[in-house]
Amino acid sequence: MPGTTLASLTTLRLGGPAEHVLTISTPADWADAVRAIGQRGEQTPVVLGHGSNVIASDAGHPGSVVVMNTRGITATRVDDTTVDVTVQAGHPLADLTAWAATEQLAGIECLAGIPGTTGAAPVQNAGAYGQQISDTLDHLTVWDWEMDRMWTLPAEACQLRHRNSRFKSNPGRWTILAVTFHLIRSAAAPAVYQPLADELGVHVGARPPVAEVTAAVLANRHRRGLLLDPHGPDARQAGSVFLNPPVTATQAAHWSATGCPVHADSDGQLRASAGRLLEHAGYGPGRQVADGIRCSDQRTLTLTAHDGATATGFAQALTELSAQVKIATGIALRPEPTLVGIWP
């Protein structure tokens, strides 16, 4: 597609020319895409889902950009209580969680409202409200650009950690083509996270219906500005711009005492709220950070792009924010979105 820009493929709507865009609409398109990329002499393409977790460079990308737009869910009964659900990589995660709620399949209800595709979700082990992809992932079907072949990768081989995986630490080598989850056939799902239990008006550990948990997650995300509204004032964003940083027990005690939320992640690592640390460094909702870039009116940790914004400016703003937090708190923040395209 000549004339396409990375801006048109990302939620921040920033980014220069995308020279060669290949949209994968059905699994059968894959072999042709691999051939076309090989004929151009390229090792690996840039792969995008909905572009909700990337900062695409102003200079664009001179090679191929593969957009995963495959859809489809196949459910296979394992036994009376478990179902294997295979989902094409381009299938919107939000549609998958809505489907699972209707089918009374538990295990991914807390992921409702996370923007993006199902195939991108394992890349950063997407998670929210005490649940993450690694809780239910069984295996992935991936294309290996180094070995030029397909693999089935069991969940254990994906090195899924807190917002991390072997796909994030080794970008480009594998493209996820399909994701298989192991879900529980159950009318009810446990509310394991305090804010979610509060939203539902139950105690932690109670088991409301799956559809009620899904609805409560969506309501809570809406109130906290965690849904992506393509027509709202925060439409141009890439979600939380920093990961919650790991802290020592001493730092955790210090920051908890100041009212900064500190949680243990699923690996037991204590993490402080990146948003609260930004506020400690003087930032806040609505604060201008750079030309055309400011904190969302609803949430300090979400930076939104406006007229005059550039990808370079956005990336520089993250460097500046991180430096200010380091000065104010001694804690280093790591950006969550991935850089794609040509960067100096």
Ligand X SMILES: Cc1cc2nc3c(=O)[nH]c(=O)nc-3n(C[C@H](O)[C@H](O)[C@H](O)COP(=O)(O)OP(=O)(O)OC[C@H]3O[C@@H](n4cnc5c(N)ncnc54)[C@H](O)[C@@H]3O)c2cc1C
Active site residues: 163, 240, 336
Cβ 273 to ligand X, closest distance in Å? 14
Looking at the Cβ atoms of 239 and 251, the one nearer to ligand X is 239
Cβ 49 to ligand X, closest distance in Å? 2
Looking at the Cβ atoms of 130 and 329, the one nearer to ligand X is 130
Looking at the Cβ atoms of 328 and 339, the one nearer to ligand X is 339
Q: How many CB atoms lie within 10 A of CB 203?
A: 10
Cβ 133 to ligand X, closest distance in Å? 8
Cβ 176 to ligand X, closest distance in Å? 4
Looking at the Cβ atoms of 13 and 280, the one nearer to ligand X is 13
Rounded Cα gap, residues 128 and 218, in angstroms: 11
Asked if 238 and 52 touch (Cβ cutoff 8 Å), the reply is: yes
Two tokens at 295?
Answer: 């904190």
Cβ 245 to ligand X, closest distance in Å? 16
Looking at the Cβ atoms of 121 and 262, the one nearer to ligand X is 121
Site for ligand X, rule CB under 6 A: 11, 47-54, 68, 89, 114-117, 119-121, 123-124, 126-128, 167, 171, 175-176, 226, 228, 237-239, 338
